[in-house]
């Protein structure tokens, strides 16, 4: 059932007072998920959104079929060697989820796999389709095989709340063991002999704070707590060094980290601290022969790589000194070389440090690209597995031969329907922000597109997360209809190094928003764009709400997915998931009046006024544990009551989490819904049947 009448959220004034400031929140009641009125309101919003977009049904179906038609539905990943096995995953036409498999290894050359053809001896480890059953949502949080290859630890979530149940499978017999542990977080690590598995659990604020040791074959009630983090700003996680010699227990806030290690041969031993936490110092550790490699930022804003003796882990000696123009991202140690992933000039790169030669950097074929190490579980290897993509080149898997120093293309994701990369072009533009800072913009467009053209401008800009140039099958449905797609690499992200992040957080957060507006205006002024539709999700949804308040006239439409738009109220409430952890990112408005005033001046929900706003589509999920559904629900309610313009639409997935619907076909339908709305906003929503613009 759909509705032509927009829902009107009742106003139930709730008073909030902080630092002498009293605020009335008329829609605070929407935070009560168990209130039948809340569910009724969300369902009414869904009905209204359905009615407002009903004319796009044919276009939605057309775009869904385009996405589906360009995707090789029965496909395989490139096998990865680990021990005596080749591991890979495959998908099958008509099935929502992937299937994890392995084959016995008989040499160093990966087996030749053909989509839809199971090789003799293939062993299915996990079939997501069978595990999911009839559940509308399904996700795997952990999939980890013991070092001897005999036991699989895996965890599942059937609601989207990211609280998983851990189970174990005997891979020799196929038996699911009796061991079952509910309520765990992502990840985990095996001891060297496969007798113990370490996992993390979360507190009421959805913070992973405890690490337990489970002995296979014993009751979960007997599991031993090996570490508890009492500082509410810190998360914990557990893993292994690449050599699998050491268990690594990491505790980290947004600005500080502390690592503990334990010989994986002695899982019942005590973890020891590499170096005690020091506020503002972040570090990570890997093991390389007779030393540890430590990537840290002590006196090195963009991080430097150091070494430390096994018996004196706090003594750090520089190996790759700090550089102002290069942000070191990660380090992987192998038996005969070290690989460093870095960022320079807004692009990623890879540096190799051979044990018997001079360091060098790997060259890639396109000036705008994304490259990173991927799928390298073997410690002793002469090849490096890499993931590569650009805005015109589909995701590609390479092996880099370390002896010959050459890239070997193993697979490029097929794009069906006659896709030719040469039919599209990618560009790098630079906008100028209010303070004179140059803001990079990545652009992709189909050759021959008349300019100025309608444009989708995407942004994020938080947590030092970089939105790197990448390929999208779904995006082709925009480009082939004459749209430009652009990414604004705004401050608050990490595209230009650590300083780029620092200049877009805490009391400099507004740079993120003004950068995005500057990027949109640059695209128009330079002749690229006519109408601009803004799109972002999660913290990028905060960006969407903020720029809509800042410059509503600059955008023809806004798509905000699981948007963090009620930021001040959320960060004021330490009982909510992740709040205390987030104080290092946004500031602490609960205890600091200046932070309170600064956040209040930009948080989207607090700053809606009666100007004419562009049409807005907000998409959220009822079971989201990261950005709670009530944030966009309250935002849309206040927009509808206060602002001009619109329409303002809210679409709530009633059985999903932060990532939306879990099955691939469901996700394609959701993307087709969003893209059809965008096309409609810029007058490009023509159906295949009538040619009419809706």
Residue 658 is among the residues annotated as catalytic for this protein: yes
The distance from CA 485 to its chain's CA centroid, rounded to whole angstroms, is 20
Helix (H, G, I), strand (E, B) or coil at 285: strand
Distance CA 390, CA 409 (A): 15
* DSSP secondary structure string for all residues of 536-589: EETHHHHHHHHHHHH-GGG-SEEEEES----HHHHHT-TTSTTHHHHHHHH--T
Contact 87, 149 (CB under 8 A): no
Buried-state track 8-21, b at ≥16 Cβ within 10 A, e below 16:
ebeeeeeeeebeee
Alpha-carbon gap, residue 660 to 534, rounded angstroms: 19
Question: Using only C-alpha atoms, what is the Rg of the chain?
Answer: 25
Catalytic residue check, 531: no
How many other C-beta atoms can be found within 10 angstroms of the C-beta atom of residue 57? 14
Instruction: Report residue 239 as tokens.
Output: 């893993």
Q: Which of 538, 621, 662, 676 is catalytic?
A: 538
Q: Of 658, 662, 676, 680, which is the active-site residue? A: 658
| Active-site position among 286, 515, 588, 624 | 624
**Nearest by Cα to 446 from 481, 472, 488, 405:** 481
Burial class (CB within 10 angstroms; exposed 0-12, middle 13-18, buried 19+) of 155: buried
Hunting for tokens 């709340």 — which residue is that? 161
**Whether residue 37 lies in the annotated active site:** no
C-alpha 434/C-alpha 178 separation (Å) is 61
User: How far is the C-alpha of 81 from the C-alpha of 84, rounded, in Å?
Assistant: 7
Query: Could you tell me which of 622, 634, 694 has the C-alpha nearest to residue 660?
Result: 622
CA distance 485 to 682: 13
Buried b (16+ CB within 10 A) or exposed e, 204-236: ebbbbbbbbbbbbeeeeeebeebbebeeebbbb
Identify the CA nearest to 370 among candidates 356, 350, 385. 350
Contact by Cβ (8 Å): 627, 597: no
> Which residues does the annotation mark as catalytic?
538, 624, 658
């Amino acid at each position: 059932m759909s509705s032509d009448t927009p829902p009107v959220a009742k106003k139930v004034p709730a008073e909030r007072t902080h630092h002498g400031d009293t605020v009335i929140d008329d829609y605070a009641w929407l935070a009560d998920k168990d209130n039948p009125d809340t569910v009724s309101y969300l369902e009414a919003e869904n009905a209204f959104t359905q009615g407002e977009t009903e004319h796009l049904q044919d276009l939605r179906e057309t775009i869904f079929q385009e996405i589906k038609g360009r995707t090789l539905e029965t496909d395989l990943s490139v096998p990865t060697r680990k021990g005596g096995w080749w591991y890979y995953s495959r998908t099958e036409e008509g099935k929502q989820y992937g299937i994890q498999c392995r084959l016995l290894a008989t040499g160093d050359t990966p087996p030749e796999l053909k989509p839809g053809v199971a090789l003799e001896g293939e062993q299915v480890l996990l079939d997501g389709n069978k595990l999911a059953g009839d559940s509308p949502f399904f996700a795997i949080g952990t999939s980890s095989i013991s070092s001897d290859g005999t036991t699989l630890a895996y965890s599942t979530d059937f609601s989207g709340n990211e609280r998983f149940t851990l189970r174990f499978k005997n891979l020799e017999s196929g038996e699911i063991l009796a061991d079952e542990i509910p309520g765990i977080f992502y990840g985990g690590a095996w001891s060297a002999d496969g007798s113990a598995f370490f996992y993390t659990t979360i507190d009421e604020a959805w913070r992973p704070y405890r690490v337990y040791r489970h002995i296979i074959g014993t009751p979960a009630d007997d599991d031993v707590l090996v570490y508890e983090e009492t500082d509410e700003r810190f998360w914990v996680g557990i893993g292994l060094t690449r050599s699998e010699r050491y268990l690594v227990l990491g505790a980290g806030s947004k600005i500080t980290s502390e690592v503990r290690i334990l010989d994986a041969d002695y899982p019942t031993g005590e973890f020891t601290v590499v170096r005690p936490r020091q506020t503002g110092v972040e570090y990570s550790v890997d093991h390389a022969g007779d030393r540890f490699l430590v990537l840290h930022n002590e006196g090195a804003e963009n991080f430097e790589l150091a070494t430390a003796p096994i018996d004196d882990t706090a003594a750090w000696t520089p190996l790759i000194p700090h550089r102002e123009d290069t942000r070191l991202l990660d380090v992987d140690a192998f038996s005969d070389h070290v690989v460093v992933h870095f960022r320079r000039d807004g692009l990623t790169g890879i540096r190799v440090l051979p044990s018997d030669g001079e360091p060098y950097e790997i060259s890639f074929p396109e000036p705008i690209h994304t490259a990173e190490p991927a799928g390298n579980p073997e410690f002793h290897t002469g090849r490096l597995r890499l993931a590569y993509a650009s805005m015109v080149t589909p995701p590609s898997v390479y092996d880099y031969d370390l002896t010959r120093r050459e890239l070997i293309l193993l697979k490029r994701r097929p794009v069906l329907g006659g896709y030719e990369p040469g039919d599209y072009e990618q560009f790098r533009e630079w906008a100028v922000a209010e303070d004179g800072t140059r803001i990079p913009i990545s652009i992709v467009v189909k050759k021959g597109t008349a300019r100025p053209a309608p444009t989708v401008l995407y942004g994020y800009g938080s947590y030092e997360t970089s939105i790197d140039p990448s390929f999208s099958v779904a995006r082709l449905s925009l480009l082939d209809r004459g749209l430009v797609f652009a990414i604004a690499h705004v401050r608050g992200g990490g595209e230009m190094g650590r300083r780029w992040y620092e200049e877009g957080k805490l009391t400099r957060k507004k740079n993120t928003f003004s950068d995005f507006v500057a990027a949109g205006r640059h695209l128009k002024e330079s002749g690229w764009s006519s109408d601009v539709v803004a799109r972002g999700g999660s913290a990028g949804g905060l960006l969407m709400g903020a720029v809509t308040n800042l410059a509503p006239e600059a955008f023809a439409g806004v798509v905000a997915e699981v948007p963090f738009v009620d930021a001040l109220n959320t960060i004021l409430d330490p009982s909510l998931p992740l709040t205390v952890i987030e104080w290092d990112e946004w500031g602490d408005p609960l205890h600091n009046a200046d932070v309170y005033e600064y956040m209040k001046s930009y948080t989207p929900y607090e700053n809606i006024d009666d100007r004419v706003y562009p049409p807005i589509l907000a998409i959220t999920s009822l079971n989201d544990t990261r950005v709670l559904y009530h944030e966009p629900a309250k935002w849309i309610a206040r927009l509808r009551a206060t602002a001009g313009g619109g329409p303002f639409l809210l679409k709530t997935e009633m059985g999903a989490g932060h990532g939306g619907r879990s099955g691939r076909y469901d996700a394609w339908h959701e993307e087709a819904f969003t893209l059809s709305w965008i096309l409609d906003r810029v007058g490009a929503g023509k159906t295949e049947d009538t040619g009419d613009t809706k």
